A = this chain, B = another copy of it.
Amino acid sequence: MAQKPSIPKGTRDFGPAEMARRNYIFDTIRSVYALYGFRQIETPAMENLSTLMGKYGEEGDKLLFKILNSGDFLRGIDPAELTGEGSPKLAAQLCEKGLRYDLTVPFARYVVQHREELTLPFRRFQIQPVWRADRPQKGRYREFYQCDADVVGSDSLLNEVELMQIVDEVFRRFGIRVCIKINNRKILTGIAEMIGQADKIVDITVAIDKLDKIGLENVNQELADDGIPAEAIQRLQPIIQLSGSNAEKIAIMREVLKDSEIGLKGIEEVEFVLNTLGSVVGGLSAKVELDLTLARGLNYYTGCIFEVKALDVEIGSITGGGRYDNLTGIFGMPGLSGVGISFGADRIYDVLNQLELYPQEITTATQLLFVNFGQAEAAYVLPALAAARRAGIRAEIYPDASKMKKQMQYANARQIPFVALAGESEMAAGTFTLKNMQTGEQTAVTTEQLIAAIND
């Protein structure tokens, strides 16, 4: 036998059991998005490389999967280019198209391309795979789904409120206990401004984040090692040791940042979101926590930043998002503010697996198998099979008149809960023997009784 075929590294096949689980995840997210007035779009897997290049930094350009031009792909290429290493520049000549790397850039392209048809604010969601030529490793794939929702064309903080409600509702439906962490880019900018160290904001958040592990003295030492002057470290102390409720933290921060206009603006935004969620909407199932060390996406987020952690499983962030300005500026349409979230479907899948939180009823597997004893018996069975399906029962007949044992093995392997048999005596009586595969119980039933027994 030839060598067993395989699939590219970092990609996956999904069998029936995995598909049922994945569909449950996507369907849940999809219906919550729709409940909040978000509308689904899909964009092509392939985008023009010019749409993708330069949007994800130099490293990102390298991680784009590029598609070789069809036909004579060497035409027009200077032979001098075709030496040495395959350069990114040469790749861009050989390839006009690439696979999408995320859903954000294609969405920005979509908004600009279709701007005449769109009504702003535009609330869209999109659930599609993306591809990255990352080194494959545990939990990191070269093909994976993103589940994004964004609102563009509105800078109202109600959008942030609603996105956090969506996050809360999705995880409530999944039964996953989470903590939603919130921060604001403007607060971080205010802190940097206050201590005159605008370029050190990442170092500062990284150091503060270690407080629990290494203690205050070591954090201060690390800040000093990062080149932050003693005086600035002194002024950072209330921020490093920030604790208490969100309201207490906000009160302290307001004092600390009293001279920073942008910092105060950030605090006001966070306060509005937290207050609206708490007192107006009536609170979330999830815990919401102001966390100044949350510093994701600093090169594009401009306002609120959020991130979701599962409480009962050790795993990274399972959802994240934030506000960005000027998403569509890269395509020549400036001034559109937006805010979005992205559910990490693969990590959510892992969490649901670990906590065994999948509901029983998500399967769409077969409920009833008719055993096949031969042509005459099959002909007797087929009208009952059709009736069962009309009643919405997922049912099949074993297609071949194989040995009984083989057919029962099939039912077991497929975990089919009911098996119906009809031999000579059942045919004479106009009945079926219905076997409950869990209890082993067998009963003689008519077609109607059979349907009722399964649909009860």
The answer, yes or no, to whether A95 is at the interface (CB within 8 Å) is: yes
Q: Considering the chains assembled together, what is the distance between the CA atoms of A413 and B86 in angstroms?
A: 50
The answer, yes or no, to whether A19 is at the interface (CB within 8 Å) is: yes
A386-B282 CB under 8 A given contacts A1-B333, A68-B94, A91-B68 = yes
A44-B119 CB under 8 A given contacts A39-B365, A114-B15 = no
Q: Considering the chains assembled together, what is the distance between the CA atoms of A281 and B378 in angstroms?
A: 11
One complex includes copies of this chain to the number of: 2
Q: In the complex, what residues of B have CB within 8 A of residue A365's CB?
A: 39
A129-B276 CB under 8 A given contacts A13-B114, A36-B396 = no
Whole-angstrom distance between the Cβ of A111 and the nearest chain B Cβ: 10
A143-B397 CB under 8 A given contacts A86-B74, A112-B5 = no
Q: In the complex, what residues of B have CB within 8 A of residue A14's CB?
A: 41-43
Tally A residues with Cβ within 8 Å of B: 115
Q: In the complex, what residues of B have CB within 8 A of residue A366's CB?
A: 37, 39
Q: Considering the chains assembled together, what is the distance between the CA atoms of A168 and B70 in angstroms?
A: 39
Residues of A79-109 at the interface with B, using a CB-CB cut-off of 8 Å, are 79, 82-86, 90-91, 94-97, 99, 109
| Interface 0/1 of A110-139, CB less than 8 Å to B | 101110010101011000010101000000
Contact A281–B382 (Cβ < 8 Å): yes
Contact A7–B47 (Cβ < 8 Å): yes
A126, closest chain B residue (CB): B19
A3-B143 CB under 8 A given contacts A36-B389, A68-B68 = no
A375, closest chain B residue (CB): B272
| Interface 0/1 of A15-33, CB less than 8 Å to B | 1100110110000000000
Q: Considering the chains assembled together, what is the distance between the CA atoms of A393 and B162 in angstroms?
A: 15
Whole-angstrom distance between the Cβ of A450 and the nearest chain B Cβ: 16
Contact A154–B15 (Cβ < 8 Å): no
Stretch at the interface among A59-67, A197-205, A290-298, A433-441: A59-67
Q: Which of A7, A19, A68, A281 has the most CB of B within 10 A?
A: A68
Whole-angstrom distance between the Cβ of A360 and the nearest chain B Cβ: 16
A331-B399 CB under 8 A given contacts A13-B41, A41-B15, A44-B143 = no
Contact B382–A280 (Cβ < 8 Å): yes
Q: Which of A6, A7, A84 has the most CB of B within 10 A?
A: A7
11 sample A-B contacts, Cβ–Cβ < 8 Å, listed by A number: A5-B51, A11-B44, A13-B43, A37-B396, A44-B143, A68-B94, A73-B91, A74-B82, A74-B83, A121-B400, A165-B386
* A residues lining the B interface (CB < 8 Å): 1-8, 11-16, 19-20, 22-23, 34-37, 39-48, 51, 62-63, 65-75, 79, 82-86, 90-91, 94-97, 99, 109-110, 112-114, 117, 119, 121, 123-124, 129, 131, 133, 142-143, 151, 154-156, 158-159, 161-162, 165, 276, 280-282, 331-333, 364-366, 369, 372, 378-379, 382-383, 386, 389, 392-401, 409-410, 413-414
Which 4 A-B residue pairings sit nearest by Cβ, starting from the closest? A2-B332, A37-B396, A11-B44, A16-B39
